Amino acid sequence: MYKNQKSIFYLFNVTITLILVNIFIFIIFSLLLLTKIISVDFIALKPSNILQGKFLWTFLTSMFMHAGFFHIIANMISLIFLGSFTERLLGPKRFFYFYLLSGIFAGIIFVLLSVFIKSDFNSYAVGASGAIFGLVGLLMILTPNLPVYILFIPVPIKMKYAGVIVLFVLWMISVLGNIPIGNTAHLGGLITGLVYGIYLKKKYKRKTNYIKRIFS
């Protein structure tokens, strides 16, 4: 689905680069927050801030900040597997832009739904999971029958079911455990991936059908 052309994107593994950038920014932002040089509002996405026209750059910065060590580890493990595979399918340049747009659209939907469903209005959202769920949504369309292992389920699950199962489990954990998980951001990323996957299927019908057959 991409042309083999010379570009700076072809000089690096985008997935590995994104992981390194996530880790680096997590360390820097954590130090800045610890020393109180900046506030969390400067980094994390908060709907009430956005709707007042404040800290609009947090749509981007929040994607590269995480709530703690285990949060970033879980997301980076997911990114190394899903990202590496998706990067090979899309090509590095298309993958890079899709990853960023998935994270940004996940943030936009997080903000919009905070108004419509009257929740998360004053909550902070951080992490790469919105963008990662974008990858999940895309793969649900391009490789629906690809067997994958998720969470603690010991048997492989088809990709077309995996995204929905993970989203549901995280939602239940947040509700039952009263844990602040950005479920609406995850949903936003998933929807972005599904929409882009449908677009690719229509534009590159022969190539996407070939990919579907290969990874079934």
Q: Which of 62, 102, 114, 186 is catalytic?
A: 186
Q: Look-up: residue for tokens 């690719």?
A: 200
Q: pLDDT tens string for the chain (216 positions)?
A: 655 545 555 556 999 999 999 999 999 999 999 999 999 999 999 999 999 999 999 999 999 999 999 999 999 999 999 999 999 999 999 999 999 999 999 999 999 998 887 777 888 999 999 999 999 999 999 999 999 888 777 788 899 998 888 888 888 777 776 666 678 899 999 999 999 999 999 999 999 999 988 887
Q: What pLDDT sits at residue 1?
A: 61
Query: Computed from CA positions of residues 40, 43, 45, 48, in that sequence, does the dihedral angle turn out positive or negative?
Result: positive
Q: Is 66 labeled as catalytic in the residue annotation?
A: no
Q: Note the residue count of the chain.
A: 216
| Cβ pair 202, 120 in contact under 8 A | no
Task: Assign 64 to helix, strand or coil.
Answer: helix
Question: Cα 118 vs. chain centroid, distance in angstroms?
Answer: 23
Q: Which of 62, 78, 102, 129 is catalytic?
A: 129
Question: Cα 83 vs. chain centroid, distance in angstroms?
Answer: 10
- Closest C-alpha to 61, from 132, 133, 136, 128: 128
Domain ranges of the chain: 8-214
Fold of 8-214: Rhomboid-like fold (1.20.1540)
Q: Look-up: residue for tokens 């899309």?
A: 90
Q: Is 62 labeled as catalytic in the residue annotation?
A: no
Q: How far apart are CA 29 and CA 84, in angstroms?
A: 26
Q: How far apart are CA 33 and CA 166, in angstroms?
A: 31
Considering the entire predicted model, what is its pTM? 0.89
Q: How far apart are CA 114 and CA 106, in angstroms?
A: 12
Helices (H), 91-182: 92-116, 129-142, 159-176
